[in-house]
Copies of this chain bind each other. A is one copy, B any other.
């Protein structure tokens, strides 16, 4: 496996490739582990030039640990092997353990990562408001939680298609996506070697891996949806569950009677899985075999603790089709399936749109929570307009930030190539960083207790002209440094008390620092008292009728 000759990597020179995957820490940081009881919790430790450090949530796995020996053939260390598996009544799933009042090692690991109490993790999983996608057969996994009381998560889709890309590229895309912050990845391969590609990805993935089993099932019948059967699909699900897939998208809500609801749409059915099932239903004039065999499917998933991601096969593919009868009819059915899955002890999340104008976004969350018992919502964007192909990472980041603020637990990224082509390595990175922005903006807006610390730390570094710290604290230090160096490449500029935007004379940050010094020199040092006094003056001023040319009050 080699990715040499691939598109230009944006990683800095300090990054090595071992067996053709990217290793080594992100610039300005190093892997650190916090010991919590018997667990080692990975964090990315950003080392600042003032001697302090700042730790951030780390999805990158051993690849960014310089002490780790990476061997793709052997796969990652089996972190969860030997973790306690208490026997209980019913299936051995995180949901069942949580309901039984048990806090699993996965829950403790997550609590430490998220800096919350383990009991909160257990309670949210027990209530079905959060899921921990963690197949027993994916022991390499560093457990992750998806639920609205936790940090908003993002997923990166990878996967070759019949037209393009290779296994080697896909494994590197997984490493690359999780390096930059993808919390889960979905392998959406549709071409040859689906099984083998997935095996490589799973054995080397520190993050949960999702799939859409229908894609492989369809390969087995040479791409003719009419030839699909429940048996072929079921065997594919078992095959994938045996490999260790952590969550599976199942479009079981596309019912025969909903299909005509899409006929007058501007963009019909745009979900691949949804359109495959619609074609099958119409070809046989029968109800979807995913729906009629759903209970058996639950039994299979429960055995491995595979999490359902109930797919929105009828999601809108355009602004015109948002929040229509077809979309919401399917959502109602997903609510019904949620109850069944949970009754089998299977964890469930619900997939959401798609393309939705801003003013119709919040209704999607409200209805999903009402119909699906607040199961974690997992949305694709949504795109807030259709008119910007090549920029759909941005059109969708707008929708994603808004829908996450409203309670969506995980955001599926969109790359600049959406609607146009397959993402390359650079596109994957841009998609991931863009979605980290949307997720973090939502964490801030939701008042997550730890979220703003990183904004404050970076802004302080910016104000104090600690350029290297500003780069290191950013989501993408390499690109931040590169952009800075384009205009002011000289090394001293990294410590200069100005930047290229205004030049030395006009720098507002420098002047502002001078203002602060001046205030201190002139006895305005008890800043709290001044603030209070000034607020009072300001209020007096307002009371006086806001007249201009009042005598100056300092």
Tell which of B268, B357, B480, B522 touches A513, judged by Cβ atoms closer than 8 Å.
B268
**Can you add 18 more A-B contacts, CB < 8 Å, to A161-B506, A163-B488, A225-B511?**
A164-B500, A218-B506, A256-B554, A259-B515, A263-B530, A266-B456, A266-B460, A270-B512, A271-B508, A318-B455, A359-B446, A384-B445, A388-B433, A388-B474, A390-B474, A390-B476, A397-B397, A398-B441
A463 within 8 A of B: yes
Contact with B along A511-549 (1 / 0, CB 8 A): 111111011001010011011001101100110001111
What residues on B are CB-neighbors of A259 within 8 Å? 515, 519
Tell which of B295, B358, B401 touches A405, judged by Cβ atoms closer than 8 Å.
B358
Known: A287-B552, A386-B459. A215 touches B506 (CB 8 A): yes
Stretch of A25-33, A116-124, A134-142, A418-426 contacting B (4+ beta carbons < 8 Å): A418-426
A130 within 8 A of B: no
Interface residues on A, range: 35 or more
What are 6 A-B contacts defined by CB distance under 8 Å? Answer: A263-B530, A319-B456, A386-B455, A386-B459, A389-B470, A389-B483
A440 within 8 A of B: yes
User: What is the CA–CA distance of A9 and B86 in the complex, to the nearest angstrom?
Assistant: 62
What residues on B are CB-neighbors of A215 within 8 Å? 506
Q: Are B268 and A459 in contact (CB under 8 A)?
A: no
What residues on B are CB-neighbors of A456 within 8 Å? 266, 318-320, 386
Q: Are A275 and B395 in contact (CB under 8 A)?
A: no
A85 within 8 A of B: no
| Nearest CB in chain B to that of A503: its residue | B162
A292 within 8 A of B: yes
Q: Are A511 and B275 in contact (CB under 8 A)?
A: yes
Q: Are B337 and A505 in contact (CB under 8 A)?
A: no
A69 within 8 A of B: no
A235 within 8 A of B: no
Contact with B along A367-389 (1 / 0, CB 8 A): 00000000000000000111111
A264 within 8 A of B: yes
Q: Are B401 and A384 in contact (CB under 8 A)?
A: yes
Known: A282-B518, A401-B358. A454 touches B268 (CB 8 A): no
| Nearest CB in chain B to that of A318: its residue | B459
A434 within 8 A of B: yes
User: What is the CA–CA distance of A421 and B256 in the complex, to the nearest angstrom?
Assistant: 56
Within 8 A of B (CB), among A326-352: 329, 332-333, 335-337, 340
